[in-house]
Structure 1
Amino acid sequence: MTRRSSRPRRRQRGTGGAPRRAGHGKLRIIGGDFRRRLLPVLDSPGLRPTPDRVRETLFNWLTTATPGARVLDLFAGTGALGLEALSRGARRACFVERDGGVADALADNLATLGAGERARVVTADALAFLAGEPTPCSLVFLDPPFRQDLVAPCCLALETGWLTEDAFIYLEAESELVPRVPEHWQLHREVRAGDSTGRLYRRQGQSGTGSPDEGYRRWR
């Protein structure tokens, strides 16, 4: 997997420009009910799923946290992390992706897996979405484009009611960045992949913001 580190990373996001089509790329679900299923990846510049090795490592860390979880996948792109969570027993998932074509392709893959009733794809800017009425989530995937100063604002926005008391937050960012996260997010694990580093945080010491099912109707 080749990236140009001098440019903003677009691995999980689509870009504008020429029309996109279903490409030859494939996303492989690596565990759970959809294990070994292959899904098409849209032919869009820079759109690539989180590598298998990183996903396998991450979900080994989240073995007991994923079943029954309410998941929020921000900057979803291919939706690799949220799809993997659904495969491994997450109860609900909301995917937020601002590129309409990429979002439509993700919705098609959810339908192919028969997971549409447990998920929703929202076509929106992530920060604009987080400014809306929150639904508390127990597992959040945050994978913004590189070098666009989105990490700190997103982390702060998540603290406006989007997290359950002991939520897990997986943040993937450029390796040279020292993330600014809330003080009560404790670093649980981290993994390096190319020019990015994934960090799994556990939220601690705060009051809960609601039951896992409260407000899910707002996603429907």
Structure 2
Amino acid sequence: MQKSLTNSKQHLIIFTRYPEPGTTKTRLTPALGDVGAANLQKQMTEHTILQVKELQTISAITVEVRFAGGNWELMQNWLGLGFVYQTQGEGDLGQRMMRSLADALGSHAERVIIIGTDCPGINCHILTSAFEKLQLCDLVLGPALDGGYYLIGLRRVIPELFSQIPWGTAQVFPKTVEIAQQLNLSSIYLPTLADVDRPEDLPVWQHIFVGDNNSNKF
């Protein structure tokens, strides 16, 4: 049975995709092949889940996985029964994120953070810091080296932050900051991290798991 959101004040949403070969991490297919790219997606999502589970041991949060591809049963069999699962639904990334944010805030959450699974540098410490900082400001952003962001945290729905954004480009973070400034939002920025989207990014993943006999194999 699908779990429901609780009355936790802090809510974390993880955006990911079911790791089916040929439909995920396609920009890495030239380097890894369809199966290798899907395996990397699987490994990176599981890494993120481990950080989130660590966070759950020290902080009262609810966790929701918004997924594309697959279905509820496949996702639960893969990542376990300890999370809320919802499909991302239709629309561009901004529309999907705004929908998930509105749903969480409408279910009594007061501070909502959205993350992806492309940034292996995300850890429990960063997530803890993000929730703490969100008590003090309107917007928390985690910038990525490629010009996007790996984390966004809000206490209310601000549609302007999710519209007219050139998703998938190096302008995502600066454009979001520009809009936040125009709206006079108080903002706090987290450390800049590298994500893994293209073949040249693969050393980021391999560096973090150097010495591991299994995790960095595709």
TM (normalized to structure 1)? 0.36
Greater relative contact order (CA < 8 Å, ≥ 6 in sequence): 2
Higher strand share: 1
